[in-house]
Amino acid sequence: MATEFIDRVTVHLSAGDGGNGCASIRREKFKPLGGPDGANGGQGGDVKFVVDAQTTTLLPLHHRPHLTANDGGIGKGDLRHGADGGDLIIAVPDGTVVKNQNGEIIADLVDAGTEYVAAAGGRGGLGNAALASSKRKAPGFALLGEPGEALSLVLELKTIADIALVGYPSAGKSSLIAAMSEAKPKIADYPFTTLVPNLGVVQAGDVRYTIADVPGLIPGASEGKGLGLEFLRHVERCAGLVHVVDMATWEPGRDPVSDLTIIESELAAYAVDLDDGNGLLPLSERPKLVALNKVDIPDGNDLADIVRPDLEAAGYRVFEISAVSHTGLRELSFAMAELVSAERERRAEFEATPKRVVIRPKAVDDRGFQIQAESDEDGPVFRIRGVKPERWVRQTDFANDEAVGYLADRLDRLGVEESLFKAGAKPGDTIVIGGDDGVVFDWDPTSVGGAELLGSRGTDLRLDEDARSTRKERKAAFHDRMDAKAAVRAEFEQERLAERAGRGRESSTGITSDSESGQE
């Protein structure tokens, strides 16, 4: 029989793309210099997971695994910005764990209202009004919108329960949870009656807690046999385990002690991959209680008297109970409450402990990109990886020469040209910005902007000695030339002053001679 409980799904998410910016010039009568008025594109919508207290299964995502957020609107003239794409909100149950395709945990969603941005929308492109500057008064281009993230994730539901009931099939776990709470699980006299975890709320004194029963475990459950492996994830968060042992089994080759030993070995073999930061122990090391069920049957009561001393000698707290007659359930419920209270106190102390905050400042010489030297059959390849360069490439309209020039200027200001020189790049070498799907172009460092984006390789490029130098070297050479000119000018001024001083002395000497001759 099919079940409506789904606790593991794979979803394919696509965030919204950012809207393109607009390149527009204001044209209005009697206003010939209206200037650029192209507006920005809207932001693409995010895909968010939000914990909803009313959602208990991942069934809706099982039927609709492909989820796409809205794109941002395009910018328009007259400074009319594009509308932002609305976020796509996906309701998930409390206790949902988000994993990537490799099985690594990305997010653990606990408590109602917790949200996680699974796929970020692309940012909108700038219009030419935002790109205008004192040097570029009327840009004839705009930036494209950035595409949103697209990825596949695995969602697993790990039930949040304080106490987990484990045991062989038909051990009476469903009857026990029905007797101790208001839960109404399916109860029948055949194995694997329970196909989904059942939750029940128990009140023991001032302590209220939840218990969950797991579909029956059999030998090899940790390796995928039966239903145990599929549902053991639901007990990873529990504070303690209760072994429900059948005292009235009629199967040959089974006895209560061997049943308990087999279940313990299966719990030890199951690896808990959930790390909530509170130091979760392996399932085999969690606090445990043993409930010897069905003691209302005479043979079961006699068998319980025989095995109880051995179990207590092994360190277990043993309770003789009957889910039918409710024998021993009160004592068991208060023992469960003790385990839950101890775990809650431990978590409260852990949360009260100040967390060490590790601050990793950005390196002083970090320019925000890296250059990787590679090679292929056509020659050396220099790959540029970085958030800014890759985003700028995605937002560039390569059909517009002015937009390409703007990209070249931005790369030059970032220091890409200088880093390429230091990495050993030569004219005509292949430069790739991004990953395998990045933009490939030939490098022409003679251009003013620093890089020339060309459509094909093999262009015959020449460099003079001045173009081979880096930007800093050219700047230093410029200052040297200016200093040399200043020195020549200062020397020339000194010569002029000396020449003037010489003529003045000669003139003064001539006047003295005339006066002396006149006196004579």
Q: Is 152 flagged in the annotation as binding?
A: no
CA distance 259 to 253: 10
Cα-Cα-Cα-Cα dihedral of 428, 429, 434, 436, to 10°? Answer: 110
Q: Is 451 flagged in the annotation as binding?
A: no
Q: Which helix (H) or strand (E) holds 63?
A: helix 59-63
Among candidate residues 16, 93, 86, the one with its CA nearest the CA of residue 62? 93
Confirm if 116 and 109 have CB atoms less than 8 A apart: yes
Q: Is 423 flagged in the annotation as binding?
A: no
Q: Is 87 flagged in the annotation as binding?
A: no
Q: Is 170 flagged in the annotation as binding?
A: yes
Q: Is 214 flagged in the annotation as binding?
A: yes
Q: How large is the angle between the packed helices 387-394 and 401-414, nearest 10 degrees?
A: 180
Radius of gyration of the chain (CA): 39
* CA distances to 139, 177, 194, 349, 370 from 199, in Å: 64, 8, 12, 27, 52
Q: Is 293 flagged in the annotation as binding?
A: yes
Among candidate residues 154, 127, 125, 150, the one with its CA nearest the CA of residue 138? 127
Confirm if 316 and 289 have CB atoms less than 8 A apart: yes
Q: Is 490 flagged in the annotation as binding?
A: no
Q: If DSSP codes are grouped into helix, strand and coil, which group holds residue 255?
A: coil
Q: Which helix (H) or strand (E) holds 151?
A: strand 150-157
Q: Is 168 flagged in the annotation as binding?
A: yes
Joined tokens for residue 54: 């009313």
Angle at 12 between CA 9 and CA 17, to 5 degrees: 150
H helices, E strands: number in the chain: 12, 18
- Phi, psi values for residue 41, rounded to 5°: -80, 160
Q: Is 133 flagged in the annotation as binding?
A: no
Q: Is 215 flagged in the annotation as binding?
A: yes
Q: Which helix (H) or strand (E) holds 246?
A: strand 240-246
CB atoms within 10 A of CB 328: 17
Q: Is 440 flagged in the annotation as binding?
A: no
CA distance 164 to 328: 18
Q: Is 272 flagged in the annotation as binding?
A: no
CB atoms within 10 A of CB 115: 16
CB atoms within 10 A of CB 341: 17
Residues 6 or more apart from 355 whose CB is under 8 A from it?
none
Q: Is 172 flagged in the annotation as binding?
A: yes
Q: Is 174 flagged in the annotation as binding?
A: yes
Among candidate residues 89, 105, 99, the one with its CA nearest the CA of residue 152? 99
Q: Is 150 flagged in the annotation as binding?
A: no
Q: Is 129 flagged in the annotation as binding?
A: no
- Phi, psi values for residue 502, rounded to 5°: -65, -40
- Phi, psi values for residue 439, rounded to 5°: -85, 130
Q: Is 193 flagged in the annotation as binding?
A: yes
Q: Is 406 flagged in the annotation as binding?
A: no
Q: Is 195 flagged in the annotation as binding?
A: yes
Buried b (16+ CB within 10 A) or exposed e, 450-468: bbbbbeeeeeebeeeeeee
Confirm if 176 and 30 have CB atoms less than 8 A apart: no
Residues 6 or more apart from 97 whose CB is under 8 A from it?
105, 107, 108, 109, 155, 156, 157, 158, 274
Output the known binding site for Mg(2+). 174, 194
Output the known binding site. 167-174, 192-196, 213-216, 293-296, 322-324
Output the known binding site for GTP. 167-174, 192-196, 213-216, 293-296, 322-324
